[in-house]
């Protein structure tokens, strides 16, 4: 069932630990992590620590640096993360319900979730990656923003498929869009699809043009390219006695115009933005 109760800790947390008391390469398990004012204390830098099923809920995590840290099954519900840095850190199946983040260096690729999150808590992760996208844009980390937006769209697809208002058709259309256009960022995807369309049309039109019998594939590809780009030099034309050839050419011309507009939007989104 979608929107199930969020994952919790395996045991009740009864002990607290201040982050500044966490030593390098320490393994901390089932602790409530507290954040006292660091001041100029160098311990505001936490290195290579591993946090397992720790509680960070409703904490104000301000101006802390984490390097090489691992967070597994930790709870960050309602936490505020502000002016922090996370370098080469990883978060595995952490709960980030209504966690707020701003002015923080954090790579969205640091987050890993099991398949159960796709089925049951996609709404939580969609909200989180949308917040990460906003944060990444604010700190001018364009690659981070692109990946966060991709993950946001990924979890939104599962919301449409398994949410309260199930929209399987919208899910399939969105999935096709994501696969074909790489979530709106896939310049390589567009190039591959364009080449595929040109080759497919060249194959379908073989024998339906005024090219002589036995003309090679290069000639048919040439006709396909000039048709796709709407240049239409005119020396190769579809056989008018074959209505199918005329229909296919008309559809292909219309498709080429639409596809060019889509590719232009992807290029602008990826390069200009």
pLDDT, tens digit, for every residue of 3-14?
Answer: 468 888 888 988
Residue in this structure with the two tokens 């994952």, named with its chain if needed = 7
Token pair belonging to 37: 């004012």
Find out whether 208 and 238 touch, Cβ atoms under 8 Å. yes
pTM value is 0.75
pLDDT, tens digit, for every residue of 108-161?
Answer: 999 999 988 888 888 899 999 999 999 999 999 988 998 999 899 888 888 777
Alpha carbon separation from 210 to 197, 220, 245 (Å, rounded)? 21, 10, 11
Token pair belonging to 206: 């073989």
CATH number of 187-272: 1.10.287.70
| Residue ranges, CATH 1.10.287.70, the chain | 187-272
pLDDT, tens digit, for every residue of 53-77?
Answer: 999 999 999 999 999 999 999 999 9
């Amino acid at each position: 069932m979608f929107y199930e109760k969020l994952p919790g800790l395996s045991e009740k947390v009864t002990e607290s630990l201040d982050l500044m008391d966490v030593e390098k390469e320490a393994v901390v398990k089932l602790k409530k992590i507290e954040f006292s004012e660091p001041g100029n204390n160098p311990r505001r830098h936490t290195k290579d620590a591993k946090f397992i099923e720790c509680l960070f809920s409703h904490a104000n995590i301000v101006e802390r640096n984490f390097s090489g840290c691992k967070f597994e099954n930790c709870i960050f519900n309602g936490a505020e993360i502000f002016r922090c840095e996370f370098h080469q850190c990883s978060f595995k199946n952490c709960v980030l319900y209504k966690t707020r983040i701003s002015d923080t260096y954090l790579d969205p690729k640091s987050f890993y979730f099991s398949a159960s999150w796709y089925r049951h808590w996609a709404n939580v992760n969609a909200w989180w990656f949308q917040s990460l996208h906003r944060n990444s844009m604010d700190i001018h980390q364009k690659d981070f923003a692109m990946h966060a937006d991709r993950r946001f769209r990924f979890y939104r697809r599962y919301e449409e498929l398994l949410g309260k208002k199930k929209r399987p058709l919208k899910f399939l259309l969105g999935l096709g869009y994501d696969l074909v256009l790489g979530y709106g960022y896939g310049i390589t995807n567009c190039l591959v699809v364009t080449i595929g369309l040109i080759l497919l049309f060249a194959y379908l039109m073989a024998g339906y043009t005024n090219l002589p019998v036995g003309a090679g594939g290069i000639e048919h590809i040439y006709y396909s390219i000039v048709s796709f780009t709407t240049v239409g030099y005119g020396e190769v034309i579809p056989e008018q006695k074959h209505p199918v050839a005329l229909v296919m050419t008309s559809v292909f011309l219309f498709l080429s115009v639409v596809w060019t507009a889509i590719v232009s939007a992807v290029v602008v989104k990826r390069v200009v933005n």
